[in-house]
Chains A and B, each alone.
Chain A
Amino acid sequence: MSASADELMDYDEVLDRFDPVMGLEVHVELNTATKMFCGCPTTFGAEPNTQVCPVCLGLPGSMPVVNGKAVESAIRIGLALNCEIAQWCRFARKNYFYPDMPKDYQISQYDEPIAFNGHLDVDVEGETFRIDIERAHMEEDTGKSLHVGGSTGRIQGAEYSLLDYNRCGVPLIEIVTKPIVGAGAKAPQVARAYVAHLRELLRALGVSDVRMEQGSLRCDANVSLMAKDATEFGTRTETKNVNSLRSVENALAFEMRRQAMVLAGGGRVKQETRHWNESQGNTSPGRSKETAEDYRYFPEPDLVPVAPATAWVEELRATLPEPPAQRMRRLAEQWQLGELELQAVISAGALDLIDATVTAGASPQAARKWWTGELLRRANEAGVDLADLGISPAQVAAVQGLVEAGTVNDKLARQVIEGVLAGEGEPAEVVESRGLAVVSDEGELSAAVDAAIAANPDVAAKIREGKVQAAGALIGSVMKAMRGQADAARVRELVLAKLAQS
């Protein structure tokens, strides 16, 4: 049963009566070339079961070998989150049966994570919150199940299930926060900002594609409410399927309002996993956790302990990027962005793209205008991330260069972008091949102006009489005749000159 809107407590009332306590578990798929424990490629979207081998299929006799690059990424993530790095740690087996996990155990880490005790500072509306990090540990991803038939898309009630093991064994880092208290009304925003900052940090580290919609960044959002006079945390729920920044915020706000209603009605919150339904904007119950599953963790005997040398860890520390909150503040200042504009840039995942476009020569204003305007619109239409749209920051800077040089006007620039996205080459090549350059042949332009004057004698007469604002109609006519490929300012000059008004 999912709660409908009238079973929810008003948000302000929730905050009057309760304090929210959150916990966020983020799974990050690393972008290593090969899997965590074997040499299979990790390319997203390949034909099902084409990126598999005896190891990631868990065939009898096969054995895992740790991907050194994944350990390096894990340590860099840990360091960037201000964690301590374990001098010695082990992998552990998490035992449970599920068809998408071929060994029927997941190689993970249990009580000896590679990184622990860190924090990440996040900015929300000018206020800085420190999110304490409990741990970051290494593990392998599972395969993907597609349950066919049945109404829910889950394994219960399905007619049959299809399994794709390509994702099986892809390296994952699970980052777990300590309980986040004291965020009050801003709790959902803080959670969203945490995930957004984390995404920027991981992107800057270059360790993951961090695409929430492809599942390379996944968030499980835990929340509980404690009454204002309480001393202990309440019972929490864990919400899964939170696949965008917006969902993080909305799902948590929904759960707070739902739990508040349950508690206000004298009920008890059931400890369970809930499923965020993006289209309906609500959560529904999933697996009950009343009887906690016993994973029977024990140290993975097929692997030796990981003991990173201190010197190596220090070497990696030297490669860390600027902390995301600090970087955002610096760029906002440099680019003269207000808080809302900055949030729009971050939500669009455009910070790095704009930064790179500026580096490639565009002005911050122009770079931001393209990425959060025309390009974001096209990305949304195509249902892809900005970074995957198919145009590079250098190309965007080149388009802007063409505009500033007067080679194309703003409208033509959009056609240039269309050409680049269609794979027609660099912006200059698109201008050439599509014949998009503004016509600068004075003879042709002059003839077009003459034709327009001849065709619109009334308008021409008005202009001659000094009604300069009437020139717009003639300019429009010329631009139409030139199919837009004229510099409107030059056309205006010509019209006025020919009608003796300049």
Chain B
Amino acid sequence: MSQADLNARIITATAAELGRAIAAGTWTSVQVTTAFLAQIDAVDDRVNAFVSVDREGALAAARRVDERIAAGERLGPLAGVPIAVKDLLCYQELPTTAGSRMLENWTPPYNSTVVQRLLDAGLVILGKTNLDEFAMGSSTETSAFGASHNPWDLDRIPGGSGGGSSAALAAHEAPLAIGTDTGGSIRQPASVTGTVGVKPTYGGVSRYGIIAMASSLDQCGPCARTVEDAALLHEVIAGHDPMDATSIDQPVPAVAEASRAGDVRGMRIGVVRELGGEGYAPGVEQRFDEAVELLRAQGAEVVEVSCPHFDQSLSTYYLIMPAEMSSNLARYDAMRYGLRVGDDGQNSAEQVMRLSRGAGFGSEAKRRIIIGTYALSAGYYDAYYGSAQKMRTLITRDFDAAFAQCDVLVSPSTPTTAFKLGERIDDPLAMYKADLCTIPSNLAGNASASFPCGTAPEDGLPVGFQVMAPPMADDRLYRVGAALERALATRGTSTVIPQLPGSLAEPSQEA
């Protein structure tokens, strides 16, 4: 087999297949890692999925895994498999920028729990992926290091904030990626790139070492091209962490098993009435409805449910998130690390703080700091933050009532397919609406995921199918996702290889 064919086979394989091939000695981790690095070289100048690539570190890690396997060690199912990590997770070997000028050259002195678990499981970290600044955005356009591009159409957004991770997967630059989801930052990018993204139950995956945006909403999760791959990664990163006081001390739901079963017979699936209709693209609604029918055909019982307070999700979210964020971003004050501006010996510490924050934060960060500071201010707290918390409780009760009738809830992941870069950047409200369907699960803390369900007839771009499950019932997401994946494969619509000139995913005809 030619090198090109080998690379093509490697980068189009699933993570599960790669893990098996490496364990069996069919391929070495070095071969696999080399192939993905080559794809990055071939396409990332146009995709811009990565903020940093750790070529030598990745190859060294791959060699170590190969040596351990050669020595007869039995490692986990993803040992030796490369992965891309959102640049919001602390990793000692690379700068952690959060997509901000503020942290452009900051390399953390410690590893986040999730990164440590990846390393312990033998995964090979290729590099850090791009994101909206401090994970604030739905397009990666607020990143200080330039937007990422959707491999399906380079003029379009790859979603956000985790657009670097989703673009890397769709462009086959990595078989797995880590994302974080505060209002949809895993699921909306997955939706618009035709990939799988899971936001586990709040507290299911440790937040320790992940740069905080809104602490009560942030959750880290797996991103992949297949349901089983996401589940395998989920099992690596999930589970109680004593360093995160909000981490749940319970066994991890059996998600890998659920992803292999993919059985929805007898499951009650609730279609959320409020998440559809006006504002939803026809192709999105069409593919969503077809997906629901596919699940019904597989033996699921489909009902319609109403969650009346979901209409208030966006306004609730845009009070709670900026309030917490304004506090979480206070520490970037130039005193100990990060960008420092105006330290000329004349300016006071307070002036240096002001100048540095003025220079280091982009406009979206500033907008949210101002909104959040206002919402928490004396005299306004009750009207804004306080009432938002009450609405959050009502939204959670909507979920409770719905889950009393159904095993899972479903909706489109986002109202439209990928919009054009620049289309919404000057219209924050339009941008925020990309998270309309995903935000309720962040507010309630339950598990939620986006799975590909084909492409919209009008533009040929991917559509995402959102599944929501009760807290700590993450396995149900995977059962539904796997069932859908199989049904779509039967229909011949499972491909997630976008047209990307120069991609190694399609071997040259001459080879």
Judge if B324 is at the interface, Cβ distance under 8 Å. Answer: yes
CA distance A60 to B331 in the complex (A): 8
Shortest Cβ distance from B391 into chain A, in angstroms? 16
B209 and A61 form a contact (CB under 8 A) = yes
A161 and B90 form a contact (CB under 8 A) = no
Judge if B112 is at the interface, Cβ distance under 8 Å. Answer: yes
Judge if A65 is at the interface, Cβ distance under 8 Å. Answer: yes
Residues of B within 8 A of A95 (CB): 326-327, 330, 376
Shortest Cβ distance from A112 into chain B, in angstroms? 14
B336 and A57 form a contact (CB under 8 A) = yes
Judge if A103 is at the interface, Cβ distance under 8 Å. Answer: yes
Shortest Cβ distance from B384 into chain A, in angstroms? 11
- Closest B residue to A147 by CB, please name it: B349
A296 and B373 form a contact (CB under 8 A) = yes
CA distance A377 to B425 in the complex (A): 74
Residues of A within 8 A of B336 (CB): 57-58, 102
Judge if B178 is at the interface, Cβ distance under 8 Å. Answer: no
Given A99-B335, A302-B215, A302-B246: A61 and B327 within 8 A (CB)?
Answer: no
Chain A window 286-312, contacts with chain B (Cβ cutoff 8 Å), 1 for yes, 0 for no: 000000101011100111100000000
Judge if B35 is at the interface, Cβ distance under 8 Å. Answer: no
Residues of B within 8 A of A99 (CB): 333, 335, 349
- Closest A residue to B106 by CB, please name it: A60
A298 and B327 form a contact (CB under 8 A) = yes
Judge if B430 is at the interface, Cβ distance under 8 Å. Answer: no
CA distance A301 to B96 in the complex (A): 23
Residues of B within 8 A of A66 (CB): 245
B210 and A61 form a contact (CB under 8 A) = yes
Judge if A64 is at the interface, Cβ distance under 8 Å. Answer: yes
Chain B window 66-101, contacts with chain A (Cβ cutoff 8 Å), 1 for yes, 0 for no: 000000000000000000000001100000101000
Q: Quick one: which of B96, B348, B385 contacts A298, CB cutoff 8 A? A: B385
Residues of A within 8 A of B373 (CB): 296
Residues of A within 8 A of B108 (CB): 54, 59-61
A63 and B207 form a contact (CB under 8 A) = yes
Judge if A97 is at the interface, Cβ distance under 8 Å. Answer: yes
Q: Quick one: which of A58, A65, A155, A297 contacts B331, CB cutoff 8 A? A: A58
CA distance A102 to B323 in the complex (A): 19
Shortest Cβ distance from B487 into chain A, in angstroms? 39
Residues of A within 8 A of B385 (CB): 298
A296 and B208 form a contact (CB under 8 A) = no
Residues of B within 8 A of A213 (CB): none
Given A60-B211, A61-B108, A99-B333: A302 and B245 within 8 A (CB)?
Answer: yes
Chain A window 33-54, contacts with chain B (Cβ cutoff 8 Å), 1 for yes, 0 for no: 0000000000000000000001
Residues of A within 8 A of B214 (CB): 301
CA distance A188 to B138 in the complex (A): 61
Given A54-B109, A60-B106, A95-B330: A301 and B324 within 8 A (CB)?
Answer: yes
Residues of B within 8 A of A304 (CB): 245-246
Judge if A62 is at the interface, Cβ distance under 8 Å. Answer: yes
Q: Quick one: which of B89, B98, B330, B335 contacts A105, CB cutoff 8 A? A: B330
Residues of B within 8 A of A57 (CB): 336
Query: In residues 92-121 of chain B, which contact A (Cβ within 8 Å)?
Result: 96, 98, 103, 106, 108-110, 112
Judge if B243 is at the interface, Cβ distance under 8 Å. Answer: yes
B245 and A294 form a contact (CB under 8 A) = no
A61 and B377 form a contact (CB under 8 A) = no
Given A298-B376, A304-B245: A61 and B212 within 8 A (CB)?
Answer: yes
Main secondary structure of the interface of A (DSSP, over half): loop
Shortest Cβ distance from A494 into chain B, in angstroms? 75
CA distance A97 to B357 in the complex (A): 12
Residues of A within 8 A of B350 (CB): 97
Query: In residues 12-52 of chain A, which contact B (Cβ within 8 Å)?
Result: none
Shortest Cβ distance from B94 into chain A, in angstroms? 14
Judge if B429 is at the interface, Cβ distance under 8 Å. Answer: no
Given A95-B327, A294-B377: A61 and B333 within 8 A (CB)?
Answer: no
Shortest Cβ distance from B54 into chain A, in angstroms? 19
A62 and B208 form a contact (CB under 8 A) = yes
Shortest Cβ distance from A94 into chain B, in angstroms? 10
Q: Quick one: which of B245, B324, B326, B348 contacts A63, CB cutoff 8 A? A: B245
Shortest Cβ distance from A438 into chain B, in angstroms? 62
CA distance A334 to B436 in the complex (A): 75
A65 and B209 form a contact (CB under 8 A) = no
Judge if B280 is at the interface, Cβ distance under 8 Å. Answer: no
Query: In residues 263-307 of chain A, which contact B (Cβ within 8 Å)?
Result: 292, 294, 296-298, 301-304
Judge if A314 is at the interface, Cβ distance under 8 Å. Answer: no
CA distance A302 to B323 in the complex (A): 14
B377 and A59 form a contact (CB under 8 A) = no
B327 and A93 form a contact (CB under 8 A) = yes
Judge if B216 is at the interface, Cβ distance under 8 Å. Answer: yes
Residues of A within 8 A of B335 (CB): 99, 102, 163
Count chain A CB atoms within 10 A of each CB in B209, B211, B349, B376 and give the residue with the most.
Answer: B349
Residues of B within 8 A of A64 (CB): 245
Residues of B within 8 A of A125 (CB): none
Query: In residues 353-392 of chain B, which contact A (Cβ within 8 Å)?
Result: 353, 373, 376-378, 381, 385
| 18 extra A-B contacts, CB within 8 A, seeds A54-B110, A60-B106, A63-B208 | A54-B108, A54-B109, A58-B336, A61-B112, A61-B208, A63-B207, A65-B242, A65-B244, A95-B327, A97-B330, A102-B331, A103-B330, A163-B335, A296-B376, A298-B327, A301-B215, A302-B245, A302-B246
Jot down 5 A-B pairs with beta carbons below 8 A, ordered by A.
A61-B89, A95-B326, A97-B353, A296-B327, A296-B377
* Nearest 3 Cβ contacts at the A-B interface: A104-B330, A301-B215, A296-B376
Instruction: Spell out A's residues near B (CB within 8 Å).
Output: 54, 57-66, 93, 95, 97, 99, 102-105, 155, 161, 163, 292, 294, 296-298, 301-304
